[in-house]
Amino acid sequence: MKAIGIILAAGNNKLMRELSYKRAVAAMPVAGSYRSIDFALSNMSNSKIQKVAVITQYNARSLNEHLSSSKWWDFGRKQGGLYVFTPTITAESSYWYRGTADSLYQNLHFLKSSHEPYVVIASGDGVYKLDFNKVLEYHIEKKADITVVVKDMADRSEINRFGVVTMNSDNRITDIDEKPLETNLSMVSTGIYVIRRRLLIELIEKAAEEDRHDFVRDILVRYKNVKRIYGYELDTYWRNISSVESYYKTNMDFLKRETRDYFFKQYPDIYSKVDDLPPAKYNYGANARNSLISSGCIINGTIENSVLFKKIYVGNNSVIKNSIILSNAYIGDNSYIENCIVESGSTIKANSRYVGDGSTKIVIEDSPVY
């Protein structure tokens, strides 16, 4: 594909509450064995984009470890590669990334040293499948300056987290309302863009000259009447996980057979870093129904409608319902957990009870095992 890829994974989101204390949003575990960023990386790999940069900043340790090798996504065998850019102090700049446009400006050398004519920009917190070749073909066909991938949101409960777009009959974007308090519209930007590389360099340099740092507000919104900006509508599954409720709903979606089949049984595949772990072990008395249970788990209790990540121990007579348990957690005997997200590395003491009433409860426990 005649494009390079850039994945924006530097930001933090307070809507993730305690879940973002340990990791970047793009490193959040999804569907048992994956990280959020795996979906953007896999889509780029499957679209034959060979050169991809991931821009990281906030709580990047976990994400950087995950990206330590490009082989899982098949980047850079002879050409291209996977690049990870964090803020660095230079003669010109000693700032952290001050926004999405600034993160691109501080890594402008990546754009200038590349030769591909187009750039695909994606965020690291989306769960979806997309052939970027089709978006590029649409971009060229429309003679667009910028193409934005958009999605019609059936669930409008969190629509104020997104940029809401208005399009004319030709799908040209006529207005962008970034994170509105109220709107009757349902078409939102997914944070995926296609743009010609030279134009991107020009727009980023101009924004930096004017001390503007945000890609959406200072480029898309500002140039909407000057540049030809078109919307490419995505009609398949897409979710953004950057709030606790959407993160919970996304993982619960993977308990539905049609969602699992779409992502894991239909070509193209989603790839991730592989840990060499034994399969989950179910001891006498264990009972699991409609759940995703990952490698390295030891189950002695009852699991219903839940997602368990890697290396989790569930004690005797414990019950887990409608919950997400992140990696390396220990659930003591006779515990009851419902409508919760248990943070990785937590130790839940025996005879504990945690129930999320009305909203998803986040459980973080580092108590010793008794």
Q: What is the pLDDT of residues 78-125, one digit of tens each?
A: 777 899 999 887 777 778 899 999 999 999 999 999 999 999 999 999
Contact at 8 Å (CB) between 230 and 148? yes
Lowest mean pLDDT among 68-82, 101-115, 262-276: 68-82
**Does residue 351 surpass a pLDDT of 70?**
yes
Lowest mean pLDDT among 17-31, 71-85, 111-125, 218-232: 71-85
40, two tokens: 């953007």
Q: What is the pLDDT of residues 173-208, one digit of tens each?
A: 999 998 888 888 999 999 999 999 999 999 999 999
Contact at 8 Å (CB) between 248 and 165? no
Strand partners, 121: 6, 193
Q: Quick one: pLDDT band at residue 367, thresholds 50, 70, 90?
A: low
Q: What is the mean pLDDT of residues 23-43?
A: 95
Q: What is the pLDDT of residues 292-308, one digit of tens each?
A: 999 999 999 999 999 99
Residue 370's pLDDT is: 45
- The CATH number given to 281-363 is 2.160.10.10
Q: Where in the chain is the domain with CATH 2.160.10.10?
A: 281-363
Q: Where in the chain is the domain with CATH 3.90.550.10?
A: 3-264
Q: Distance between CA atoms of 68 and 242, rounded to whole angstroms?
A: 24
- Rounding to the nearest 10 degrees, give the CA dihedral for residues 57, 61, 66, 69: 80
- The CATH number given to 3-264 is 3.90.550.10
pTM for the model stands at 0.94
